[in-house]
Amino acid sequence: MPAAPRFLFVTVNQRCNLRCQHCYFWQRNDSDRPNYMSQARLHEVIGEFADMSPRGNIVICGGEPMLDREIYFGITATCRELGLNAISVVNGTRIRSDAMAERMVREGPHEISISLNSQRADLHDETRGIPGAFDKAVQALRLLLAARQRLRSNDTRIYVMGLIFDRNYREIEAFYDFVINDIGADKLKLNFLQPAFGQAGETDPFFADHHGVDPDEIGSIIARCDEKYALGLNPEWLHQVKMYFRSLGTAQDIERGWGSEGRTEEHICNTYDRNIMVNEYGMARLCFSTGFPGIQLREPGDLRRFWDEAEPIREAMRQCNRFCGISHSVRRATSSAASIGKTLPVA
């Protein structure tokens, strides 16, 4: 039998209040919500996961999940009741007051990441598509950190999730300085450009135009940051980062995004050994891709049956070298050397 899953990713909506160039969820509107999995059923699934993986991790996904606050805090309440670790990446636009920041610390996820594309307001706002998005993200981080201090909470981690691409990779050192020394967040997590989320068209302009990162240069920059800020980074992860951008440079049809025939030189994903992704309709898969089979979670026990009987799917996935393997959600190597071998969220 496979080891227990470590992460259950649950999608709560398919819309967003920003207009990010590297994502298309903002073009959706949840118009099909009547056909989504019911909240009662979702909480049953989370309970089943808790039985399979005590102290496991629930990752709340969107869209922008905080646009549906009742659902969002309903999930975190269930996690806290069942002893699960709740994780969420949000854009910060709905954390606008001391009261909401305190609610996030008291009732929300144990790990809160705010998306930030740069330490420069102009670049963040340009790529996020909305003026003022940077100020709201930074304000949310400062509110959360202040709330955590007031409440003397020791079980809430506050991170920045940074998207790295051609226009900001040479500024990673300044990015770390801003996040660690100016804002005071617990960590800057580097997430590297990959094909656009929610892309439905034949081409992916942002991925095509902004994948040009020099592999050796970014490797040197990150290594310098590792030494300067005592990050304790994992050498295998850094090798994979360099290999990933080297692979992008050889793809002949990079403009096709998810449809590209390009692949990474090495297999770097292990989502099939630790993750279950459940979309808004209650379809469970071992990754976000629809290219591998899944099952509809209709009855109690379906989640466990899917996980226990998924070895043929895992075998096929072990041959997959698509570009999404670099995502922090699915890559095999954690960025932190201290996390190697531990059952912690991937850094």
Average pLDDT over residues 117-133: 98
| Contact predicate 87/60, CB 8 Å | yes
Instruction: Report, as an integer, the average pLDDT of 294-312.
Output: 98
State yes or no: pLDDT of 226 exceeds 60: yes
pLDDT above 80 for 323: yes
CA nearest 237: which of 326, 333, 323?
333
pLDDT per position as a tens digit, 35-80: 999 999 999 999 999 999 999 999 999 999 999 999 999 999 999 9
What is the amino acid identity at position 77? Answer: A
Which domains occur in the chain, in start order? 7-339 (3.20.20.70)
Angle between helices 235-250 and 215-229 (to 10 degrees): 160
% of the chain beyond a pLDDT of 70:
97
Task: Name 154's Cβ contacts closer than 8 Å, sequence gap at least 6.
Answer: none
DSSP, collapsed to helix, strand or coil, labels residue 332 as coil
pTM of the model: 0.95
Residue 307 in contact with residue 5, Cβ under 8 Å?
Answer: yes
Segment 148-165 mean pLDDT: 97
Q: What's the burial of 342, exposed, middle or buried (CB within 10 Å: 0-12/13-18/19+)?
A: exposed
Distance CA 276, CA 315 (A): 16
pLDDT of residue 199: 73
Q: At what angle do helices 69-82 and 39-52 cross, to 10 degrees?
A: 30
What mean pLDDT, rounded, does the chain reach?
Answer: 95
pLDDT at 48: 98
